[in-house]
Structure formats: C-alpha cells, structure tokens
Amino acid sequence: MNVFAWSYKDMRGLNHNIASHKIPLYSGVEPKKPKLRRMRLDMLLKAKEVATTQLESSFI
C-alpha cells in the first residue's frame, strides 16, 4: 500500500472546503510588489522544479 499521494488525483475523497486556502484582499487596494532577490542557481532550479510539479498536479 502506498501512503504518499504523488498527485491530486491520488487523494480521493479530499474535501475542497477543508484543503483550500484563500487570501482575503481589500477592494481598491493595489498589491505591493517586493524587490527581486537573487537566489543561488541550484536553489532556483529546485524551486522551479517543485513549482512546476505542483502546477501540473493542480496543487497550486
């Protein structure tokens, strides 16, 4: 038996009301854009890989 879910489809019966996050925003307020920060290349590639995996599996 596999105990890890490698994609969103592997988590059958997951209630979206429990597992979703919302960010409350004020209407009419522009969000602030922070300055870009430099990152080590190895960390940048790993972060990009993780983000891509989460996007493909519909986690984010």
In a domain, 31, yes or no: no
Region 10-27: mean pLDDT is 72
In a domain, 29, yes or no: no
In a domain, 55, yes or no: yes
In a domain, 13, yes or no: yes
pLDDT over 70 for what percent of the chain? 67
Tens-place pLDDT, residues 33-60: 899 889 899 999 999 998 898 888 777 7
Per the structure, the count of domains in the chain is 1
Please tell me the distance from the alpha carbon of residue 30 to that of residue 5, in angstroms, as a whole number: 37
Domain that holds residue 48: 1-22+38-59
Reduced to 3 states, what is the DSSP secondary structure of residue 4?
A: coil
Please tell me the distance from the alpha carbon of residue 51 to that of residue 43, in angstroms, as a whole number: 12
